[in-house]
Amino acid sequence: MKFHEMEIKQVERALETDFSSGLSAEEVKKRVKQFGLNELEEGEKQSALLLFFSQFKDFMVLVLLAATLISGLLGEYIDAIAIIAIVIINGFLGFFQERRAEKSLQALKELSAPQVSVLRDGKWMKIPSKEIVVGDILKFTSGDRIGADVRLIESKSLEIEESALTGESVPVSKITEKLTNENPGIGDMENTAFMGTMVTRGNGVGVVIAIGMKTAMGQIAGLLQTAESQETPLQRRLEQLGKILITVALLLTFLVVAVGVIQGHDIYTMFLAGVSLAVAAIPEGLPAIVTVALSLGVQKMIKQKAIVRKLPAVETLGCASVICSDKTGTMTQNKMTVTHLWSGGQTWTVDGGGYQPKGDFYRNEKKVHPKDEKALQQMLIFGMLCNHSEINLKGEDYILDGDPTEGALLVSAMKAGFNRPKLLEEFTIMNEFPFDSSRKMMSIHVKDKQGRHFIITKGAPDVILGISESILWDGRTQYLNKETNQKVQSAIDNLASQALRTIAIAFKPIPANTYIFSEKEAESKLTFIGVQGMIDPPRPEVKLAVKECKEAGIKTVMITGDHAITAKAIAAQLGILTSKSKVLDGKQLSEMSVEDLENVVEDVSVFARVSPEHKLKIVKALQNRGHIVAMTGDGVNDAPAIKAADIGVAMGITGTDVAKEASALVLLDDNFATIKAAIKEGRNIYENIRKFVRYLLASNVGEILVMLFAMLLGLPLPLVPIQILWVNLVTDGLPAMALGLDRPEENVMKRGPRSPNEGVFSRGLGWKVVSRGFLIGLVTLFAFMIVYHNDPSQLQYAQTVAFATLVMAQLIHVFDCRSEKSVLSRNPFGNQYLVWAVISSLLMVLVVIYYPPLQPIFHTLPIAAKDWLLIIGLSSIPTFLLAGSFLLRKTK
Ligand code: ATP
């Protein structure tokens, strides 16, 4: 059907829908059943089976399997079967970890999937865009992505950028009339909006004519760009490191084998030992565990209301040194209430809180009736007309649907007894120039009952004053001279200094039956009526969050479209503005180059009256000063700055789809404190990754060294291959994962941000790995030598003791890894996952030592109680040594 050629009434009939109430829930269910969900088919997903088999494609695992085959051919069936069993268990562990990571990333994708406003059963509601059906009525506004193909039924200055489909980046103006040209191309379908395109201006309503693969986007879905890489810098660095470690491990392994063979060991055993050691020592799986840790961290962040859209951001968060945050709604509650009104030298106050339309007006502390005050009345009526919000009574509560600034203007007028539907009987809105944060105002063209036409404009008072030529004073319109201008200016400043957000109302009569095309034409030569001042209390948690950031070496910068004096007052309340810090406003910013800004930016804590374009300049200047910048935003124009920032942060509630898509982090509650929480979590995830890298690598170093030392000393093999495999592929994994889930150390937000160039082994980690690995290797060797020299005929028993010592030394060492300082600096058993992981790893080792059927497979013998004393004594030496040296340093 060619909906673009139909009148909208025809479309309504053809799609069996109702433009005034939308589809019913029942009808929607039916349509979903019949036509499916509004989804684009994705490429083939990796099946579970494939994922499982991919666990075995590691080069070293393949070598191990080949070696196993050889031992099978040589008749060593038990070894061969045992190795295969271990490889399979390891495969399962890897499989479940990866599945979990994949699932949580998928869940994340769904959480950040776009929502749309749809009319159903007579009510506007938000739904995920995949639930859209044909016949649904959708509403969209600047910054939204269109959720399906729609035939437009309402367009208010609607402009849509369709480059995703047409490659043309200049937005197209949209209309609602039927088209007459035959077979128009997508670019010419002016009355249709397409899935995936973006509203850049105005707002509109449309009825869905196609979903999913039937949309224009669906037909070219194959051309859609593929997702960008989600690899984090650390993962890349670990991969590079992995390559170096493989070489080192292979060389050392080769050395062990060579020395072993020279010392007269049997070639086959040495070969298998070499392969096992190589499999064990090469940290090939490390990047995979890192992914798991990152994705688990991401899940934790969701609980704190922060959604990470780009995995690398988890790491960058820990490096953030400046947070540039919007004020309204992020630092403040965005619950606005008009408390003061000013016009022509008079000030009125209003009482009553929240959105409840109950309150009285006072002038000079005397109650007045607003209908007796002409200027006041006009300001209230115009504020109510030039407005998009609605206040609805739900139960006992008055709920705002729309922009809080406009909600406050509605409520102030309602308190005076005005009502918007009634006003709309007297005034007809002919045209609208929507609000945008660069102009900082919005205007409507109205006609009253007498046929008189006006422009009504509301917006930032300083801006409106700049485009006004006259002012309403004592009921008369006067020319705006220097003196009155000054008076208005100081009235605005006076309201702003009380931390009030100010909105001015102005108007101008225009000749009847004129059509004003441009905002510029509408928003000039106005008559200034007055200003409404509204409170927007700070969010209570922000002050503490700002303080915590400061302690963590992170500077908070307020960036706002609001008046400098209002911004300053609130910044001071929140502890952002100090005696030394400065305030810069949009005008000053415009006059500065990035280089100029760079010279002063360190001292600026508040940027006021900024336009979204300025944000990019601020990000650049801060980055040039070496900062890692988190920048928040919500509108379409914020997207470039969000993209340019190291951590782009979008608002989950008020943010547009475009801002969210550009961002790395979405705040579900729009709250500044959530950024701090995410940074804390980001720092913690990175520290946790360091913890298990330290644990796993130290363990590997220990294993290689014990073998190497033994070979150099001409001793028999202290560990048999299967034991090495068991330790590395089975018992190490769980504690490492548990370290990945560890809670942050107390000082995590008491030290400065990490340098983004920091290497994996920085801050002493390399030394810790080598020294602890060395000690673990040494005590294992001692345990082996003591028992072996006691009775050289009992080699298998000595090997079992060495095996137990190695595992015990690692499992004790794992508690050390919880802290950068020492095991003593925090409760070693504070991480319950770790306690359980260690217990289960211990059990797995005890089973292979004491369970008779497994003893021949693992070449073990039951260890006598007295030898456990030796094992535990030796294996705790490394931790004692470290704790001792920590205490020594502390007492010094
Ligand atoms: P922040 O950038 O911290 O979120 P903000 O909400 O004040 O601050 P903008 O939304 O860009 O930033 O608003 C800038 C100014 O425009 C406001 O200070 C106000 O004076 C004016 N303004 C805000 N909303 C509207 C609106 N709906 N209609 C007209 N003017 C508005």
**Which residue, among 130, 133, 105, 107, has the nearest Cα to 119 in the 3D structure?**
133
Least confident of 271-280, 771-780, 871-880: 271-280
Q: To test ligand 1's pocket by mutation, which of 325, 502, 559, 560 has the most ligand atoms within 8 angstroms of CB?
A: 560
* Same domain, residue pair 778 and 823: yes
Q: To test ligand 1's pocket by mutation, which of 325, 389, 437 has the most ligand atoms within 8 angstroms of CB?
A: 437
The residue out of 194, 223, 252 marking a domain boundary is: 223
Mean pLDDT of 697-726: 86
Which tokens sit at 260?
């072993």
Which candidate in 58, 136, 326, 732 is catalytic? Answer: 326
Q: How many domains does the chain have?
A: 4
Confidence (pLDDT) at 226: 41
Q: What percent of the chain has pLDDT over 70?
A: 94
Q: Is residue 197 within 8 Å of 174, Cβ to Cβ?
A: no
Other Cβ atoms closer than 10 A to 847: 12
Residue 562 Cα, ligand 1 centroid: separation in angstroms? 6
> Of the ranges 191-205, 263-277, 282-296, which is most confident?
191-205
Give the atom of ligand 1 at the shortest distance from the alpha carbon of 461. 20
* Same domain, residue pair 775 and 828: yes
* Same domain, residue pair 487 and 631: no
Phi, psi (rounded to 5 degrees) for 531: -130, 140
**CA–CA dist 746, 680 (Å, integer):** 11
* Same domain, residue pair 238 and 314: no
Asked if 326 is an active-site residue, the reply is yes
Closest-CA residue, ligand 1 atom 10, reads 437
* Same domain, residue pair 215 and 250: no
- Across 148-264, the runs of DSSP E, i.e. the strands, are 149-161, 172-173, 192-193, 198-210
Give the atom of ligand 1 at the shortest distance from the alpha carbon of 501. 18
Let me know if residue 438 belongs to a domain: yes
**Which residue, among 365, 401, 394, 359, has the nearest Cα to 380 in the 3D structure?**
359
- State the CATH number of the domain containing residue 158: 2.70.150.10
Residue 561 Cα, ligand 1 centroid: separation in angstroms? 6
Structural domain including 881 reads 233-301+683-745+760-891
Least confident of 25-29, 338-342, 752-756, 780-784: 752-756
* Same domain, residue pair 186 and 237: no
Let me know if residue 436 belongs to a domain: yes
In degrees, rounded to 5, the angle at the alpha carbon of residue 434 between the alpha carbons of residues 493 and 143 is: 105
- State the CATH number of the domain containing residue 567: 3.40.50.1000
Closest-CA residue, ligand 1 atom 18, reads 562
**Which residue, among 161, 181, 179, has the nearest Cα to 170 in the 3D structure?**
161
Residue 459 Cα, ligand 1 centroid: separation in angstroms? 7
Let me know if residue 584 belongs to a domain: yes
The residue out of 486, 508, 535 marking a domain boundary is: 535
Closest-CA residue, ligand 1 atom 6, reads 328
pLDDT tier, 680 (very low <50, low <70, confident <90, very high otherwise) = very high
**Which residue, among 807, 773, 728, has the nearest Cα to 280 in the 3D structure?**
728
Residue 332 Cα, ligand 1 centroid: separation in angstroms? 13
**Which residue, among 493, 500, 497, 508, has the nearest Cα to 462 in the 3D structure?**
493
For 640-676, the pLDDT digits (tens) are 889 889 999 998 888 888 888 888 899 988 999 999 9
Q: What is the chain's mean pLDDT, rounded? A: 86
For 838-892, the pLDDT digits (tens) are 999 999 999 999 999 988 888 899 999 999 999 999 998 888 887 777 777 777 6
Let me know if residue 109 belongs to a domain: no
What is the dihedral sign for C-alpha 750, 754, 666, 688? negative
Task: Tell me the residue type at 613.
Answer: E
Give the atom of ligand 1 at the shortest distance from the alpha carbon of 561. 12
* Same domain, residue pair 659 and 716: no
For 309-336, the pLDDT digits (tens) are 877 788 889 899 999 999 988 999 888 9
The residue out of 670, 694, 724 marking a domain boundary is: 670
Let me know if residue 106 belongs to a domain: no
Which tokens sit at 888?
């020594």
What is the dihedral sign for C-alpha 156, 162, 165, 168? positive
Mean pLDDT of 693-716: 87
Let me know if residue 596 belongs to a domain: yes
Which residues have any ligand 1 atom within 6 Å of their CB?
Answer: 326-328, 403, 405-406, 435, 437, 440-442, 458-460, 501, 503, 560-562
- State the CATH number of the domain containing residue 489: 3.40.1110.10
* Same domain, residue pair 729 and 868: yes
* Same domain, residue pair 620 and 717: no
Give the atom of ligand 1 at the shortest distance from the alpha carbon of 406. 27
Let me know if residue 872 belongs to a domain: yes
* Same domain, residue pair 624 and 645: yes
Entry pTM: 0.80
Residue 600 Cα, ligand 1 centroid: separation in angstroms? 26
Let me know if residue 180 belongs to a domain: yes
Other Cβ atoms closer than 10 A to 770: 15
In degrees, rounded to 5, the angle at the alpha carbon of residue 357 between the alpha carbons of residues 535 and 117 is: 85
Give the atom of ligand 1 at the shortest distance from the alpha carbon of 567. 3
* Same domain, residue pair 377 and 422: yes
Task: Tell me the residue type at 646.
Answer: D
Q: Is residue 485 within 8 Å of 466, Cβ to Cβ?
A: no
* Same domain, residue pair 477 and 529: yes
Please report how many Cα atoms fall inside a 13 Å half-sphere around the Cα of residue 1, on the Cβ side. 14
Residue 433 Cα, ligand 1 centroid: separation in angstroms? 15
